[in-house]
Structure 1
Amino acid sequence: MKIILKENIENLGFKDEVVEVKNGYARNFLIPKGVASLATESAIKMLEENLRQSAVKNQKIQDEAQKIADALNEMVVKVVVKAGEKGKIFGSVTTAQLAEAINKVGHKVDKKYIKIKGDAIKNVGSYEAGIRLHKNVDALVKFDVIADKKKEKKK
């Protein structure tokens, strides 16, 4: 019997795949659990149309992500932090600070997709970070950590 899987099933197949199984396995286990449906002609046509539409949407999203990645690869972002006289930062530069600096330049990036290369950044200077924009699109953004020039008045 042919069925369409609604989710990934180990040793059987992946979501939206049409597979052949024994009648009893389909009728008594897979279909009642809601993890598969009968692969009728109309169901297969609907599945193909849904896969085609989702592929088009996914391609548009990937193209947008690639445009953002190209822009990020070309720019150098400035992160302003409080630092001591010798360039030592109070604390360290976080992905949240980098995401905020990138957002100020006009590209929306979530901090959880940013991976700063190397150890924690504790000094002013130039660094790089990888950003995952899509499952197939990564960007490498260069950023400069700059000490804040404002002098605070002592009381």
Structure 2
Amino acid sequence: MTKLILTHEVSGLGAPGDVVEVKDGYARNYLVPRGMATTWTKGAAKQVEAIQAARAKKAHDSVEAAAAVRDKIEATRFTVTANSGAGGRLFGTVTSKDIAAAVAEQGGPSIDRRSIEIKQHIKTTGAHMVVVHLHEGITAKLALDVVAA
């Protein structure tokens, strides 16, 4: 087991500044190369405190601000265009990066792609729902229409 300090939120594992223990391969092959975590050392206590202070300051400033963003997201339907074949089947899938870009292009609030949770792969045209984590305990349901390009 490897002890790490998370630098980004990892679904099911923790938030930035948390000290977690994960299997060696998960740390070496996924978390550290993607910049989601750094290895824990004895002198890392200051680093953990700095990350937690930044997280507390940044966390969508307040619950009220996150709730306002949630209301704005849930009041709008967003459209993503993708290449598709016969029957509405997509060539590939719609990713969280595509969704974040579509929201920004259509005048929605700025969303971090890592906060978007796609329950099932989006591989067809039509209406879909995804979840956006805005603050601890505050999530928004984003209505998404996938149309053929």
TM-score (norm 2): 0.58
How many residue pairs match? The answer is 100
Secondary structure, counterpart of 1:127 in structure 2: strand
Secondary structure, counterpart of 1:144 in structure 2: strand
Between the aligned partners of 2:117 and 2:58, the Cα distance in structure 1 is 27
> What percentage of aligned pairs have identical amino acids?
28
Deviation, 1:57, is 8.5
Deviation, 1:115, is 0.5
Contact 2:78 2:102 in 1 (8 A): yes
Secondary structure, counterpart of 1:108 in structure 2: coil
The answer for the alignment partner of 1:13 in structure 2 is none
Between the aligned partners of 2:141 and 2:60, the Cα distance in structure 1 is 21
Secondary structure, counterpart of 1:86 in structure 2: helix
Q: Which runs of 4+ in 1 moved over 3 A?
A: 55-60
Between the aligned partners of 1:56 and 1:112, the Cα distance in structure 2 is 19
Q: Supply the RMSD in Å over aligned alpha carbons.
A: 3.0
Between the aligned partners of 2:136 and 2:104, the Cα distance in structure 1 is 21
The answer for the alignment partner of 2:138 in structure 1 is 137
Q: Please list every run of 5 or more consecutive structure 2 residues that lacks an aligned counterpart in the other structure.
A: 1-17, 19-42, 46-55
1:94 aligns with 2:59: no
Decide whether aligned partners of structure 1 residues 124 and 59 sit closer, same or farther in structure 2, where only a CA change above 3 A counts.
Answer: closer
Between the aligned partners of 1:65 and 1:125, the Cα distance in structure 2 is 28
